[in-house]
Each structure stands twice: as structure tokens, then as C-alpha cells.
């Protein structure tokens, strides 16, 4: 076997991408934090921050092996082992083929995906969730839902010669998801829908004003998410190459087009184009292009983004028609956007831009690729939704998932954290209301 030599350029790019993706979670904290009421902003941001802590520790202990282990040779899960990642310090990545980057770099990069996915869910249950219950949910959900689903989608197995062992179910079926449309966004969106049903509506929903308390924070968060998303998508090439370049340009133009699509809907429907709409549109476009970014031409990325902005803006009203309180529109942006982006590969996928891609309908490939994408969307949605319902109800029936009515009305920040985001007195004691 030919000796594998470390590629320092590829390694550096994935290391930089890892840092970019980590930045997305604090960016999400700002994005979500600005969208809630002032009395809930710290709790909202803490839900993202504690997720970083919990998932990082679990990933080292067993998460990476459960997601990417191949020794069990299972299509549904990796290895059940307490690895600690100590035995792979000098190994190279083999995920369907040898990559000249260290396993630890790949593990760190994938960790950031594992962190942000449950953090996305938190937006659906803002303003009313016990902090301890959320922390327990993150640990259980990551173990039972995200780690296995990541295996289904991202684990291409261990390749020795022509033999591949331990490939994930959807990866082995040819479902295409370059950077996480199914594993991250549909997964999180379905879970957010399930938890919103379990926990119920906020007190005063549709009766009281629940407008974002700080639109500048929302815009800041959207900007950080947009910036970090280049690592999310282009970094998934695991190399500094043409595929990374394609993913990067597609990420930019899709997000930009989605801003226009969302604002157009707002202008026609309400007569005003809003800053909240621009920020939400950018995120919707980023979500939609994530699975497709390395499989479509830039012109198609523009179309995908424009449609994503429009349909996600229109989908915000679903929660009112169906009667569930998805506080920050996780369903409209991540579930609907993720579904559209994943299915769009079946329309716009082109082997001309990426030899690893199959041709979609518009490139003469027929419906074969679209059928594979439907399989991926349906399986991930069904599993995440059902599993989250079970986990959510189990927590609700034991320790309780929701804060008491008085705590919700008074302010979840003060009751759950003994702090307030904005001190209205001259007191120097953080969190005190004197």
C-alpha cells in the first residue's frame, strides 16, 4: 500500500473550517437571543452555550465512534465503545477512502456539526424551557438521534482495496447530502416540531406581543452564521480544492438570493421589507444550499436560494394554521429549507460540476436521484420526529420540561439563571433586581 503523506494545506483548511463552524453556535446564540423577549435572552443564549459543553464531552467519550466507527459494520450505528479518541492521534482519515488529514482533525470538524444541530432545536421552545431539562435532553437526543443519523448520512465506511465496511444506510444508498441538509437541518427541524408539540404554547401566544427585543443582535447573529457557513459547507470537501471553491461560491449566492426572495414576499404581502426578514432569508438560503452546495452549478444555487427565501417566508404561517408554537420558526427555516435543498439536488444535480454527483431531472438524469433524496428526507424526518416525541414526553413526565407559569411570566432569565440581560438599576450585582 502506498504510504499516505500528510497534506498540510488540506489539513490547514479543515482546521480553519472547524473554527468557522464553531463560531456558528455563538452566532446562533446572538440570532436566537435577539429574537426572543428581553426577559428570556440570557436563557436562550445559554441553551446554545451549554450545548457546546455537553456535546463536546460526549463526542470524545463515545460520540465520534458511534457516528463514524466502522468495526461494527452496521448501516445504522458505528461502534459502541468508550474510545476517548486516544488511539487515533497518528491516524489518517478513512471515510470511504484515505484522506491525507489526521483523524483528529476530521473528528474536530464533525464535532462542530454535532454541536450546532441540537442548538438549532432550542429556537422552537424558547421562553418556556427549564435549563436543566434542556441539558438532559441535549445529552439524550445527541446520543439516540444525532450520532446515529450522522452515521446514516456521513459515514462512507472504511475502504480497504475494493471492500468497504461500516457505511451508513443512506450513504450506501447514494443519498446525497454534502454538508448536512438531512443530518443537521431536517433532523433539527423535525425535532423542533416535536418538542413544540410536547411543551405546548407560550402563555399569551397570539394574544400578546412577542416581537424580537433586539433586531441588531439578530442581524449580528445572522452575519456570524453566514460567515461561519463557509467553513460548514466548503470545509466539508476535506480539502482545499475545486470542490471547496464550488461549495463556497454556491453558499454565497444562495444566501444572497434567499435574502431577496424573503424580502420580496414581505414586500408583496405586508408592504414592508424588514431587517428580520433579511436575516431570516439569509439563514434560509444557507440551510437550503447546505446539502446541494457541491453538486449544483452556481446558477442553480441562485435559483435554490431564491425559492428557499420565498417558501420559507410563506411557511412561517404554518404554525398558526396548525396551532403549534414554534417560537423562532425552526420548522419554517430549517425543516422546510432543509427539505427543499435536499430535494433540489434531484432537480439540479450535475455530474458536470462534480463527478461524484448524479445528474438530476434538469440534466437528463431522470427521477432516480430525486427518489434517493426523498428516501433520505423521509427517513430522517420520521426517525427524528418520533424519537424526539418519546424523549420529550419522557422528560416532561419525569422532571418536567417547562418552567412554572409564574416563572415564565416574570422572566425565565431571572428564575433559571438569577441574572438579567439588561440591568435597569444602579446595582452592581449582576442579576439582582433591586
Please state the three-class secondary structure of 367-430 as a single string: CHHHHHHHHHHHHHHHHHHHHHHHHHHHHHHHCCCECCHHHHHHCHHHHHHCCCCCCCCCCCCC
pLDDT of residue 83: 81
Percent of the chain with pLDDT over 70: 97
| Cβ neighbours for 113, distance < 8 A, ≥ 6 positions apart | 21, 150, 180, 183, 184, 232
Higher pLDDT, 206 or 1: 206
Average pLDDT over residues 256-269: 98
pLDDT of residue 424: 62
User: Cα 307 to chain center, whole Å?
Assistant: 20
DSSP state of 351: T
* pLDDT grade for 96, boundaries at 50, 70 and 90: very high
Given a contact cutoff of 8 angstroms between Cβ atoms, the answer to whether 156 and 96 are in contact is yes
Average pLDDT over residues 396-412: 94
- Is a pLDDT exceeding 90 seen at residue 335? yes
- Is a pLDDT exceeding 50 seen at residue 398? yes
CATH number of 8-417: 1.10.3430.10
pLDDT tens column, 147-171 = 999 999 999 999 988 899 999 999 9
- Is a pLDDT exceeding 60 seen at residue 418? yes
- Is a pLDDT exceeding 50 seen at residue 427? no
Average pLDDT over residues 394-416: 94
| Cβ neighbours for 183, distance < 8 A, ≥ 6 positions apart | 113, 117, 146, 149, 150, 152, 153, 154, 177, 380
- Is a pLDDT exceeding 70 seen at residue 349? yes
- Is a pLDDT exceeding 70 seen at residue 302? yes
Domain boundaries of the chain, sorted by first residue: 8-417
In angstroms, rounded to a whole number, what is the distance separating the alpha carbons of residues 319 and 328? 11
Average pLDDT over residues 356-377: 95
pLDDT tens column, 37-68 = 999 999 999 999 999 999 999 999 999 999 99
pLDDT of residue 425: 57
The values of phi and psi at residue 164, to 5°, are -120, 130
Task: Using CA atoms of 79, 232, 237, 105 in order, give the dihedral in degrees to the nearest 10.
Answer: -50
pLDDT of residue 431: 46
Amino acid at each position: 500500500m502506498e504510504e499516505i503523506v500528510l497534506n498540510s494545506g488540506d489539513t490547514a483548511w479543515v482546521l480553519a473550517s472547524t473554527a468557522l463552524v464553531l463560531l456558528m453556535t455563538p452566532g446562533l446564540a446572538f440570532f436566537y437571543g435577539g429574537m426572543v423577549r428581553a426577559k428570556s435572552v440570557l436563557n436562550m443564549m445559554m441553551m446554545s452555550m451549554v450545548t457546546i459543553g455537553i456535546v463536546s464531552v460526549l463526542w470524545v467519550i463515545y460520540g465520534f465512534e458511534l457516528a463514524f466507527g466502522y468495526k461494527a459494520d452496521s448501516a445504522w450505528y458505528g461502534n459502541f465503545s468508550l474510545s476517548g479518541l486516544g488511539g487515533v492521534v497518528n491516524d489518517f482519515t478513512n471515510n470511504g477512502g484515505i484522506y491525507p488529514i489526521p483523524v483528529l482533525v476530521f473528528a474536530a470538524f464533525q464535532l462542530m456539526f454535532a454541536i450546532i444541530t441540537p442548538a438549532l432545536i432550542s429556537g422552537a421552545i424558547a421562553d418556556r424551557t427549564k435549563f436543566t431539562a434542556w441539558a438532559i435532553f441535549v445529552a439524550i437526543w445527541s446520543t439516540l438521534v444525532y450520532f446515529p443519523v450522522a452515521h446514516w448520512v456521513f459515514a462512507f465506511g472504511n475502504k480497504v482495496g475494493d471492500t468497504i465496511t461500516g457505511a451508513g444506510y443512506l450513504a450506501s444508498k447514494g443519498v446525497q447530502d454534502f454538508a448536512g441538509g438531512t443530518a443537521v437541518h431536517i433532523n433539527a427541524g423535525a425535532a423542533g416540531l416535536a418538542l413544540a408539540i410536547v411543551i405546548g404554547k407560550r402563555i399569551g401566544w397570539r394574544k400578546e406581543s412577542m416581537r424580537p427585543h433586539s433586531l441588531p443582535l439578530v442581524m449580528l447573529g445572522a452575519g456570524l452564521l453566514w460567515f461561519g457557513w463557509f467553513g460548514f459547507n466548503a470545509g466539508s470537501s476535506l480539502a482545499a480544492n475545486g470542490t471547496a471553491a464550488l461549495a463556497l461560491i454556491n453558499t454565497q449566492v444562495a444566501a444572497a438570493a434567499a435574502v431577496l426572495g424573503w424580502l420580496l414576499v414581505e414586500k408583496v404581502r405586508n408592504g414592508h421589507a424588514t431587517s428580520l426578514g433579511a436575516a431570516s432569508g439569509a439563514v434560509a438560503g444557507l440551510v437550503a444550499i447546505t446539502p446541494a452546495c457541491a453538486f449544483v452549478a452556481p446558477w442553480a444555487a441562485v435559483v435554490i436560494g431564491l425559492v428557499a427565501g420565498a417558501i420559507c417566508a410563506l411557511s412561517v404561517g404554518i404554525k398558526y394554521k396548525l396551532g403549534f408554537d414554534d417560537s423562532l420558526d425552526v420548522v419554517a427555516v430549517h425543516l422546510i429549507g432543509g427539505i427543499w435543498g435536499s430535494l433540489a439536488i434531484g432537480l439540479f444535480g450535475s455530474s458536470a460540476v462534480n463527478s461524484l454527483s448524479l445528474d438530476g431531472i434538469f440534466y437528463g438524469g431522470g427521477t432516480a436521484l430525486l427518489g434517493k433524496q426523498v428516501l433520505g428526507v423521509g427517513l430522517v424526518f420520521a426517525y427524528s420526529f418520533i424519537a424526539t416525541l418519546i424523549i420529550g414526553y419522557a422528560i416532561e413526565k419525569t422532571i418536567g420540561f417547562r418552567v412554572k407559569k409564574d416563572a415564565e411570566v416574570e422572566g425565565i432569565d431571572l428564575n433559571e439563571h438569577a441574572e438579567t440581560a439588561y440591568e435597569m438599576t444602579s446595582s452592581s450585582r449582576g442579576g439582582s433586581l433591586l
